[in-house]
Amino acid sequence: MTTKDEFKQAPHKLLVIPGPIEVADEVLFANAHPSMSHVSPDFIPVFGDCVRMTREVLYTKTAQPFLISGSGTLGWDQVAANLVEQGENALVLHSGYFGDSFQDCLETYGAKVTQLKAPIGRAVALSELEKELKSGKKYKIVTVTHVDTSTGVLSNAKEITAVVRRISPETLVVVDAVCSVASEEILFDDWDLDVVLSASQKGLGTPPGLSILVASQRAIDVFKSRKSPPSSYYASWKKWLPIMNAYEAGTAAYFATPPVNLIYAYHAALKLIVRGEKTLEERFKLHKEASRQVKEAAKRLGLKQLPETDDEAANGMTALYFPEGLTAGDILPRLGKRDVVVAGGLHAAIKDKYFRIGHMGVSVVDGQRGDVNTIVRALEEALKEARTKSA
């Protein structure tokens, strides 16, 4: 048999896209756990621990995690099908591609959506939000993309929530944190959030396939007092709430088979994050330092960031315009040749004009890997080569 200490993943190109990210050996090993019954006494506490540790990552004592087999996108369905009823108003703060998708999802389930759209590279101004909330329209939810993976723009979830609480205290604040949980600080209880939705494959350093959503008790109360039943079956909290409660209480309940191996992997990843050598606070600091290092190197190399201001730039990823005269074809293959995998553009309006680098999880927390230096060096070399070639 192969033991945890023995297992080492194969050498491979450094994966520094904004998710999936590099996954630690012990997390991959856990994903290869022998097959287990989803109701076995060995598995139940592992699932329960995942629920509890998810709370710790978000600094919440009382909010309710939902861990469901699915991609991050399923979190939108959970919000749209459980918290909004037919014809109710939703306000979407748009800072990139994912604002449009979230709107699409909300409308699928009957929400009336208003969008506040920031210019590319900016987050929605608090003053715009304030004006809209004072317009007289009653919003059931406000959604914000904490880090929009398409632009690398970081929205100020704390201040946004404060504005909502001041002007429209009953409106639920929903944070799409797919690309920010565990790479950006999120103080769920202190900020008074209602929903944080995420996925396993970014800051949480687990393979993709787990929709991770945390709901405040206020959100759960709103859900429980719905007039109509939830408008999704698979994403229904009516189905999942008893399951999450059962596993946390140390018993099993069945709605749909949980992704057992992935739960073992998530458990291993959470242990590294909340029980590891470094505190959560230290981890956030390391993400900031890695981000600064990449962004300063980019600046030195003459690359312009997509986010227009430093305080609206994510700490877990960097989006950079290609320099004048160079394209994706000049840069990305040259990074690939140096075994560094980054991502192209995603925002439709500027898709071919920029690229994205992820710096989350083990790549920034485990300094011995030297991943951030590898990124910077590869970027320097690739740019130099591309400029020589095109000169």
Among 207, 307, 316, 345, binds its own copies (CB under 8 A): 207
Residue of 130, 192, 123 lying closest to 156 (CA atoms):
123
Under the binding rule (CB under 8 A), the answer on residue 351 touching its own copies is: no
Is 208 near its own copies (CB under 8 A)? Answer: yes
86 sits near its own copies (criterion: CB under 8 A): no
Contact between 15 and its own copies by CB under 8 A: the answer reads: yes
Q: Is 254 in the site for its own copies (CB under 8 A)?
A: yes
Which of 52, 62, 86, 104 binds its own copies (CB under 8 A)? It is 104
H/E stretch holding 212: strand 210-215
Using CA atoms, how far residue 319 sits from 219, 316, 347, 365, 368, in Å, is 33, 10, 11, 20, 25
Q: Which of 96, 258, 316, 345 binds its own copies (CB under 8 A)?
A: 258
Residue ranges in 134-259 assigned as alpha helix (H): 157-167, 188-191, 217-224, 237-249
Rule CB under 8 A: say whether 333 interacts with its own copies.
Answer: no
Q: Which is nearer to its own copies, 231 or 318 (CB)?
A: 231
Cα–Cα dist 202/373, whole Å? 20
181 in contact with its own copies (CB under 8 A): no
| 1 belongs to the binding site for its own copies (CB under 8 A) | yes
| Distant-in-sequence, close-in-space partners of 130: CB < 8 Å, separation ≥ 6 | 163, 167
By three-state DSSP, how is residue 19 classified? coil
283 in a known ligand binding site: no
Q: Least distance in Å: CB of 344 to its own copies?
A: 8
Q: Which of residues 25-84 bind its own copies (CB under 8 A)?
A: 28-29, 31-40, 69-74, 76-77, 80
Report the residue from 60, 171, 183, 236 that binds its own copies according to the rule CB under 8 A. Answer: 236
Q: How far is the CB of 21 from its own copies (least distance, A)?
A: 7
User: How many residues bind its own copies, per CB under 8 A?
Assistant: 67
Quickly count: other Cβ atoms within 10 Å of residue 316's Cβ. Answer: 30
Q: Which stretch binds its own copies (CB under 8 A): 50-58, 101-109, 284-292, 298-306?
A: 101-109
Write down the residue that tokens 């909300």 correspond to.
Answer: 106
Question: Residue 69 is inside which H or E element, if any?
Answer: strand 64-69
Q: Least distance to its own copies from the beta carbon of 177, Å?
A: 15
Let me know how long the chain is: 391
If one asks whether residue 352 binds its own copies (CB under 8 A), the answer comes out as no
With CB under 8 A as the contact rule, the residue among 46, 235, 286, 357 that binds its own copies is 235
Residue 118 touches its own copies, criterion: CB under 8 A: no
User: Quick check: 161 binds its own copies (CB under 8 A)?
Assistant: no
Among residue numbers 210 through 229, which ones bind its own copies (CB under 8 A)?
229
Residue with tokens 């109701």: 39
CA distances from 163 to 124, 145, 171, 189, 191 (A): 13, 16, 11, 16, 11
11 makes contact with its own copies (CB under 8 A): yes
Report the run of H or E that residue 83 belongs to, with start and end: none
Q: Write phi, then psi, for 353 (nearest 5 degrees).
A: -100, -5
Dihedrals φ, ψ of 247, to 5°? -60, -40
Selected binder of its own copies within 187, 249, 256, 349 (CB under 8 A): 256
Q: Counting contacts by CB under 8 A, is residue 255 touching its own copies?
A: yes
Single residue of 48, 259, 307, 316 touching its own copies by CB under 8 A? 259
Helices and strands in the chain, H and E counts = 14, 14
Question: Which residue number, 161 or 198, has a Cβ lying nearer to its own copies?
Answer: 198
Q: Using CB under 8 A, which of 197, 214, 246, 260 touches its own copies?
A: 260
Among 83, 141, 147, 262, binds its own copies (CB under 8 A): 262
Q: What are the φ/ψ torsions at residue 390 (nearest 5 degrees)? A: -90, -5
DSSP string of 223-289, one letter each residue? HHT-SS--S-STT-HHHHHHHHHHHHHT----SS---HHHHHHHHHHHHHHHSSSS-HHHHHHHHHH
Known binding residues for substrate: 356
- The binding site for its own copies (CB under 8 A) comprises 1-3, 6-12, 15, 17, 19-23, 28-29, 31-40, 69-74, 76-77, 80, 104-105, 108-109, 199, 201, 207-209, 229-236, 254-262, 341, 343, 346
Known binding residues: 356
